[in-house]
Amino acid sequence: MVNILWGDIMNANNPFYEKKFDCPVCKTNFTSLAVRSSKIYVELKESDLHVVYRGISPLHYSIIVCPSCYYAASNNNFSQEINPKLLEKMIQALYHLRPEPGIEYNRERDLQKALGSFKLAIRSAQLKQVASGDLAGLFLCAAWIAREARDQELEKVYLEKALNHYLEAFNKDFKSIGNMSDVQATYLIGELYRRNGDSKEAVNWFNKVIVHRYIKQYPHIEKLAREQWSLAREQTQMQPDSENTTVQQLVQAEEKPEQDNYAVQASSTRKTASPKRRPIMQMPVHLYADQIDCLTRIVNNGYNSSKTLVSKEQVLRALLDAVIKNLDNNLPEKFSNEEELKTLFIELLK
């Protein structure tokens, strides 16, 4: 006789169904609720990638908790085998972490149960010694649920931990963190800096997103980065100890300007001494597409080698300084159009 799961005979309008799991720690077989994709309704998406749902949130059921030993992990990798060297220590640690009285995580969850499942998942991940990027994702999701529960203090704690772990992961391998590309991860780090109160560092990271060589492959992230760049810059100017930076007008008309720091840093852990500033004046500049592409490639070359972001405006100023230094008083004189001037420059710079 075919075994029929309880979830299979539920009303078709019910948003839940049951999935089977095998605990890799205590070997218990159990079922846990999951949300039907047809019952998921997105209401809005927040700037730190938090999706707010109308009605049931699949995020609240994305962590599977063993009802026997309380080992917890995401539904995608819950049943993955655990390193045998860690298993005995995990069994002992989880035994001391089990809630008294026991909590039922395998049926419908309120916000507190959803948050509790992520707390167990974070502890289980720490015991498994998972990668920093995976741990960062758990802390970020926990912060989202704390926000939904209007627990601002707990949200702040988790957002800070998420940022620290994302930075650690980024410094190890900035090309991919979890299921994110480096473009997405760079944006998220910038937004987490902003939400953690460091709007100046947020501007630096948003700058890196905007000039990234592959940014056009992520139009949604580019739009977010430009919006949050503007917001972070406004917040920076409101801070009493912030420097008043100049808006650049070097990029195409539809682009927003980048921050005018003389040396924008790619990481808060790497600082270099800024050259002595000269008076700066704004001058709108319209460039050809291939010229902007050349500037972008120079920016990316510098970032790939040093992990330090030098903006397009700084590159252009450096080129002009090189011309001034090399030509000194031998600047071109006899020309009547742009092409003639270009030819003279090529001859003078040989």
Q: What is the pLDDT of residues 104-162, one digit of tens each?
A: 999 999 999 999 999 999 999 999 999 999 999 999 999 999 999 999 999 999 999 99
Q: Is the pTM of this model over 0.85?
A: no
Q: DSSP states of 233-292 as a string?
A: HHHHHHSTT---PPBP--S-TTSPPPB--SSB-S-TT---PPPPP-----------HHHH
Residues (pLDDT < 70) of the chain are: 1-12, 173-176, 239-286, 289, 293, 303-304, 307-309
Q: Give Cβ neighbours of residue 195 (< 8 Å, ≥ 6 apart).
A: 48, 159
CA distance linking residue 260 with residue 278, whole number of Å: 13
Give the chain's end-to-end CA distance (angstroms, integer): 88
Residue 272 is predicted with a pLDDT of: 43
Of 106, 142, 1, 118, nearest to 63 (Cα)? Answer: 118
How confident is the model at residue 276, as a pLDDT? 55
> How many CA atoms does the CB half-sphere of 223 hold within 13 Å?
6
Residue 141: predicted pLDDT: 97
The reported pLDDT for the residue numbered 228 is 94
Instruction: Express each pLDDT in 323-350 by its tens digit.
Output: 887 877 788 888 888 888 888 888 877 7
Q: What pLDDT score does 97 carry?
A: 81
Q: Across the chain, which distance is largest between two alpha carbons, in Å?
A: 96
Does residue 219 have a cis bond before it (omega within 30 degrees)?
A: no
What is the model's pLDDT at position 304?
Answer: 66
What's the CA gap between 184 and 194, in Å, rounded? 15
Rounded-to-integer distance, Cα 170 and Cα 186, Å? 8
CA distance 222 to 208: 11
